[in-house]
A and B are shown apart, each in its own frame.
Chain A
Amino acid sequence: MSLLDDVSIVVTPNGYKAGELYAVIPVPTLGSEEVTNGDFATDSDWIKEAGWTISGGTANCTSASGKSLYQTNTLIAGRQYKLNFTVSNYSTGYLSSLGNDFGGVMAEANGTYEIIGTATGTSFGIVAQGSFTGSIDNVSVKEYTSADMDVTRATAATRVDEDGLVNYAEVVSDTELITNGDFATDTDWIKGTGWTISGGAAILDGTQTGGSSLSSSNMTVTVGKIYKVTVNVSATSSGFRLYDALGVVSYGLSLGENIFYRTPSSSTYTLTPLGLGGAAGTISNVSVKQVDRDNVPRIDYTGGGCPHILAEPQRTNLITYSEDFSQSYWTKQSGVTPTYNTTETLSPDGTYNATKFIGNGSSGVLKGGISVTGVIARSVYLKSITGTVNVVLKDPNLTVTQKTLTLTEEWQRFELIESNGTSTQGIWIDDIPASGIYVYGAQVEEGSYATSYIPTDGGTVTRNQDQFTRDGIGSLINSTEGVLFVEMAALSDDGTFRQLTLNDGTTANRILVDFTDASNQIRVFCGSGGVSQVSETFNVTSSLSFNKIAFKYKLNDFALWVNGVEVATDTSGITPIGLNKLSFNNGSGSFDFFGKVKQLQVYNTALTDTQLAALTS
């Protein structure tokens, strides 16, 4: 029998969108209709509290607050459902859901709504709030079976992409905002002297004696959102600039694809390429699309090979100019000559924004005086200009360790992690050789290990913690027997608990796999009704490497498998009750799992030893 016959949930670094990491299994499915008379064809089946009536094919409400329209024995608590309904004749108030299953504010305007929520009870209802006046129709509630994980971070975050570049995890909208950006027709653009549009491009012939612009039509954007601007340049004699509603985007467009990220300060946005006097060339494939970065799960390729899901704690980069070494914020010691935004090499983010430092072998660049106590992680990307060279990484306020680094012609991120024992610390790249080095992306963060790069430009910046949860999946988890399998690695062997659980929304009932506070130790745990049933630990060679761990649970039959070997068993214990949630934490929001996950699977049966050996090998 194939393992796939028994697996109910498979989560891998796969598809995603902002706020959601798609599970491979199950494919989202809808169950049968749970609501009777959702089209209000008759005045029946619904229990109407004061203010609600049913007539004319709709349910109507007049100036009601806290009054429900509901049906009993409709839902199963702990399961996900998809709700659809329509609001019409709206004038005041809003609608919430009974038991808050579908949110506190479901609708406060005319329109058609679709909401996925988790039932907290067996009744389904819509509650008029704030003197709601309006009508509803076409109410549908169907069980929604999916293990797509909710992702919460509420800030942007960077990762290493499949090309080895450090960039933001983001989702680019499919909606193109610029009109006629492919220059399919000679319309929509205001052409200055020398510009023509034909053959799918805008061509500047070089006859202009001064700057000549090509202005797009207005776009409507959302203030504060990020937009990806793409402009392709070819056959240019150089001298092309790009402006937008914010001002200068670029004083020198490059041949090929130019990509910029802009955050409009006004809801009206325009894009204006400009050729300097005598400049000739072609602009094509101009695009403006909204980008979402908040809550986008990170599929990280650090180290190469297969990617992993990256979950990190909240961290703040205390360096306020992480890339701009031209700022006086950075002390460039005598004997060091900088070249900013060098075009000699692409930086780790794929653009020309690294700094070249030519030194004398005994001085460097530093930032000290950062007010922070305790262990901090200093990190910076470095590479040599030629060959292999050494520099020293240390703290400028009180040097405890002088870490000699060996730089090559490939970018590497180097770290120095320690406390200097004082209340002010910093980072110092010293002994820069005469042959020179390239520098990019300095970071100083409180903590015993460095996390993903947090760009800064004029202030300290925080990336929030990653949180992954999926509730309402009671139908996908067998509480009486099964297997929780995960291939995971720690970010650091830092003596903290980092937990993955199948749970009931509490810590009373759960199946748990975690890294413990002991070095390189993993543990599995079963709790039922608030009572510990099974707790087994095992020391792996390295928690920083990926380990395949499976926890089999069944009445009086528990086993821990690691990398193909059964390493612990327990023949006494009962199983949890009412498991309906998968969480990257202990079940109640603490002991968050911060680490890397290549795959996570949940099985509805206690697999055989042969299957477990195959699964974890």
Chain B
Amino acid sequence: MNIYKLQYETKAQGDADLLAKGTYEVITEEGVTQDVYRNGTQAIVYLGKIVEVPATYDKDGKELTPPIYYDGVFYDLMTTEEFDFGIHELFPVNCVHSFLGYEKNAEGTDVDPDELIIE
């Protein structure tokens, strides 16, 4: 199984790239439009923004300082197929997301998310 950890500038850019690579298909049936996994895709997980510096809260849970996020948005892709995602592929060492039963850093080697330069 292949697990890709991906970073894009926007969700629209990420969705378009994953669609172009055939990882999913947009189907409209019975008036319902859905994303259907194709070509070996087991899961696409849109992680959105990832927190670099967590927010702080008071004792009642009210936010004192907001979180600071890494640039861009992030996805995890689990698939039986191999793809070349180019600069969008990351190799984080301390992943914020994993798949149940897999090691937390199931993919990862040495690139921190903020080290990636988005085109």
A positions within 8 Å CB-CB of B: 152-157, 168, 224, 226, 263, 293-294, 314, 316, 320, 331, 333-334, 366, 368-369, 371, 396, 426, 428, 454-455, 457-465, 496-497, 507, 517, 586, 589-591
From residue 43 to 93 of chain B, which have CB atoms closer than 8 A to chain A?
A: 43, 45, 47-49, 51, 54-55, 57, 59-61, 63, 67, 76, 78
Tell me the smallest distance from the CB of A456 to a CB of chain B, in Å. Answer: 9
- Does any Cβ of A come within 8 Å of B29's Cβ? yes
Q: Which of B55, B59, B63, B100 contacts A156 (CB 8 A)?
A: B100
A428 to chain B: which residues have CB within 8 Å?
A: 61
Contact across chains for A333 and B42 when beta carbons are under 8 A apart: no
Q: Which of B37, B63, B100 contacts A461 (CB 8 A)?
A: B100
Contact across chains for A464 and B61 when beta carbons are under 8 A apart: no
Contact across chains for A461 and B42 when beta carbons are under 8 A apart: no
Contact across chains for A464 and B55 when beta carbons are under 8 A apart: no
Contact across chains for A155 and B30 when beta carbons are under 8 A apart: no
Task: Pull 26 A–B residue pairs with CB atoms less than 8 Å apart, ordered by A.
Answer: A154-B1, A154-B78, A154-B99, A156-B100, A224-B102, A320-B96, A331-B61, A334-B59, A368-B61, A369-B57, A371-B67, A455-B100, A458-B104, A459-B104, A460-B96, A461-B97, A461-B99, A462-B43, A462-B99, A463-B99, A463-B100, A496-B32, A589-B37, A590-B27, A590-B29, A590-B34
Q: How far is the CA of A151 from the CA of B102 in the complex (A)?
A: 18
Contact across chains for B57 and A464 when beta carbons are under 8 A apart: no
From residue 82 to 119 of chain B, which have CB atoms closer than 8 A to chain A?
A: 95-104, 106
A460 to chain B: which residues have CB within 8 Å?
A: 47, 96-98
Q: How far is the CA of A371 from the CA of B11 in the complex (A)?
A: 15
Q: How far is the CA of A462 from the CA of B102 in the complex (A)?
A: 10
Q: How far is the CA of A589 from the CA of B35 in the complex (A)?
A: 10
Q: How far is the CA of A408 from the CA of B40 in the complex (A)?
A: 46
Q: Which of A334, A464, A589 contacts B99 (CB 8 A)?
A: A464
- Does any Cβ of A come within 8 Å of B12's Cβ? no
Q: Which of B32, B63, B95, B102 contacts A497 (CB 8 A)?
A: B32
Q: How far is the CA of A455 from the CA of B76 in the complex (A)?
A: 18
Contact across chains for A464 and B78 when beta carbons are under 8 A apart: yes
Contact across chains for B61 and A293 when beta carbons are under 8 A apart: no
B57 to chain A: which residues have CB within 8 Å?
A: 331, 368-369
Contact across chains for B61 and A589 when beta carbons are under 8 A apart: no
- Does any Cβ of A come within 8 Å of B21's Cβ? no
Q: How far is the CA of A197 from the CA of B76 in the complex (A)?
A: 50
Q: How far is the CA of A462 from the CA of B104 in the complex (A)?
A: 11
Tell me the smallest distance from the CB of A519 to a CB of chain B, in Å. Answer: 16
Contact across chains for A497 and B36 when beta carbons are under 8 A apart: no
Q: Which of A156, A333, A457 contacts B101 (CB 8 A)?
A: A156
Contact across chains for B29 and A591 when beta carbons are under 8 A apart: yes
Tell me the smallest distance from the CB of A194 to a CB of chain B, in Å. Answer: 37
Tell me the smallest distance from the CB of A513 to a CB of chain B, in Å. Answer: 15
Contact across chains for B59 and A464 when beta carbons are under 8 A apart: no
Q: Which of B29, B76, B103 contacts A586 (CB 8 A)?
A: B29
Contact across chains for B55 and A369 when beta carbons are under 8 A apart: yes
Minimal Cβ-Cβ distance residue in A for B67: A369
Instruction: Give 6 A-B pairs besides A369-B55, A589-B36 with Cβ atoms closer than 8 angstroms.
Output: A366-B61, A368-B63, A459-B97, A462-B98, A497-B32, A517-B30
A224 to chain B: which residues have CB within 8 Å?
A: 102-103, 106
Contact across chains for A331 and B59 when beta carbons are under 8 A apart: yes
Tell me the smallest distance from the CB of B63 to a CB of chain A, in Å. Answer: 6
Contact across chains for B100 and A459 when beta carbons are under 8 A apart: no
Contact across chains for A333 and B59 when beta carbons are under 8 A apart: yes
A454 to chain B: which residues have CB within 8 Å?
A: 100
Contact across chains for B48 and A462 when beta carbons are under 8 A apart: no
Tell me the smallest distance from the CB of B97 to a CB of chain A, in Å. Answer: 5
Minimal Cβ-Cβ distance residue in A for B1: A154
Contact across chains for A333 and B60 when beta carbons are under 8 A apart: yes
Tell me the smallest distance from the CB of A379 to a CB of chain B, in Å. Answer: 16
Contact across chains for A461 and B59 when beta carbons are under 8 A apart: no
A168 to chain B: which residues have CB within 8 Å?
A: 101
Contact across chains for A462 and B45 when beta carbons are under 8 A apart: yes
Tell me the smallest distance from the CB of B20 to a CB of chain A, in Å. Answer: 19
Q: Mark B8-39, 1 if CB is under 8 A from A, else 0.
A: 00000000000000000001011010101110
Contact across chains for A157 and B59 when beta carbons are under 8 A apart: no
Contact across chains for B61 and A459 when beta carbons are under 8 A apart: no
A463 to chain B: which residues have CB within 8 Å?
A: 99-100
Contact across chains for B38 and A293 when beta carbons are under 8 A apart: no
Tell me the smallest distance from the CB of A483 to a CB of chain B, in Å. Answer: 24
